[in-house]
Structure 1
């Protein structure tokens, strides 16, 4: 892919404070956002407008995750609690009360009914997604566990920590396997490529490492941004991926050879974010990219190529 046309499709305005997380809904035209506000917001992409407050919260929201194969949204908050909310009824199905420090990442499996929460306390907890019982909890680090990735075949779980470590675990029994090539500063983003060939890791050191999943050795490393790489998201079917950063930019890359294809930033002439871009997501409704940031905006992008 050599050329991409990128246009701003719209802005979702309404948050009064920075937005930290975005997640797709069961219906393609719905997305959810959360941040330093008092609620998780539901947006309608068909109308490009606010729909409702899905769930009120007392503390900042750092993580949102739609539990695989369900209409349930898991919410991680600054007080260390996990909340599971039915996206149709807005009813809270469960409160995951274990961690004492903020929840920064949440992931679930497609092949087994388990949910993973990662916390600033250096531990992760595993919950059954039927009754939401606590199954296991274990220490990963003496520092914050900032991000989680599950491999495409769901054989591996990877955790990124504040002390720059990337740790590989067996997804079957959560046994520690090995420490992978890491970063000089906190690991802030992890993502497996859709074909399962690569694990990408990003950090506060502004570095991006590309690991070959056959042996988890580094096959490429480069500096994609000026500051922290907060998000790495592969397009579900096109050979591209996007990164988002504290440097206020979003960049689109070729997933074949990791070439930079486009830069979305105010400095490049886009009506884009003026502060840190904290999260991004590819949405299936109109095949768009959505970004959220410290400037309280969620921006919808048409990416055509």
Structure 2
């Protein structure tokens, strides 16, 4: 189902984040280096350093031709990939920004991180529209529901907080994990919210009531990313335990483990991020070993 295809080297330091290019035939990677790197999926090679950065990049998010680059410094760079120009720098957060997402129906970008606050920005002119405090500590991850009506925030205090995207009012608090929530994803079929924690547990919450329907001891250590396949009923997880796992999106059955300990190709350090290519042909992973790995998917 997943077979190692290429290992792409070039980063000098840990890689924290990945994002697909607008055309779908490539991707970006960034981390503790001094720039965001573009790679080609057609040739499986380095393309260029897209843009230099002043501090570590913890999150990348592409919206149409714009790439949002969230940094440890608290700054968010807005880079136009068509014109190759930096069009704006978003300044609000005083500490590291850990996640950024867009709500396209509202032309809004939301950001959060180590300061425990959420900032809401206009996608039209990049002005700061609204801010609100979530907790006094870190908010690690953001998930947007399929209809964009709800926003889930995974927090360091082990709680998932669900907000209404219309006015950012708090709807629900899920006492989710025994340790910080480190990954969060709504299913494409809008049936579930899945959370992963530093406690190595995967939890499945059934919508619309967020009822806990499954609790899976998925990994040995923290789960850092959850990624649904764009068309097939599977999702992948990656962990600090250096493994990638492929799960059924409906039966939550484990279908594949990619790990050096299981005698497959794999990362030799914590895996921090994974994404699917836009066409679903490839799974792309990156981590503290400074490697980007591309895996071919066959259902």
Q: Into which bin does the TM-score normalised by the smaller protein fall?
A: over 0.9
Superposed displacement of residue 89, structure 1:
2.4
Q: Deviations over 1:250-303 (max 9, x none)?
A: 000011110000000111222210000100000035611000010001100012
| Contact map agreement 2:117 2:135 (CA 8 A) in 1 | yes
Equivalent residue, structure 1, for 2:108: 114
Query: 2:29 corresponds to which residue?
Result: 33
1:96-132 superposed Cα distances (whole Å, 9 cap, x missing partner): 0000000000000221210000120010100001100
Unpaired segments ≥5 residues, structure 2: none
Q: Where does 1:106-185 land on structure 2 (aligned, <5 Å)?
A: 106-185=100-179
**Is structure 2 residue 58 aligned with structure 1 residue 62?**
yes
TM-score by length of 2: 0.98
Within the candidate set 8, 19, 22, 1:12 is matched to 8
Matched pairs, number: 299
Say which of 84, 95, 100 aligns to 1:90.
84
1:50 corresponding residue in structure 2:
46
Where does structure 1 differ by over 4 angstroms across 4 or more consecutive aligned residues? none
Alpha carbons of 1:127 and 1:285: their partners in 2 closer, same or farther (altered >3 Å)?
Answer: same
Q: How far apart, in 2, do the equivalents of 1:180 and 1:267 lie? A: 34
- Matched residue SS, 2:261: helix
Tell me, yes or no, if structure 1 residue 282 matches structure 2 residue 298: no
- Decide whether the 8 Å contact of 2:259 with 2:267 is kept in 1: yes
1:223 aligns with 2:191: no
> 2:242 matched to which residue of 1?
248
- Corresponding residue for residue 261 of structure 2: 267
Partner-residue secondary structure (3-state), 1:142: coil
Query: Counterpart in 1 of 2:71?
Result: 77
Distance 1:38 1:99 in 2: 20
| CA pair 286-149 structure 1, distance change in 2 beyond 3 A | closer
**CA separation of 1:161 and 1:274: change in aligned 2, threshold 3 A:** same
Q: Distance in 2 between matches of 1:152 and 1:267?
A: 36
Tell me, in whole angstroms, the C-alpha distance in 2 between the residues paired with 1:130 and 1:55. 22
Mapped contact 1:181–1:217 kept (Cα < 8 A): no
Please give the alpha-carbon distance, in whole angstroms, between the structure 1 residues aligned to 2:280 and 2:179: 36
DSSP 3-state at the match of 1:111: helix
Question: Structure 1: 5+ residue runs without aligned partners?
Answer: none
- Deviations along 1:151-177, one digit per CA (max 9) or x if unpaired, are 001110010111111000001111111
Kept after mapping to 2: 8 A contact 1:21/1:33: yes
Range moving further from structure 2, 74-83 or 173-182 = 173-182
**TM-score normalised per structure 1:** 0.96
CA shift in 2, pair 1:242/1:22, >3 Å: same
Separation of aligned partners in 2, 1:274 and 1:93: 37
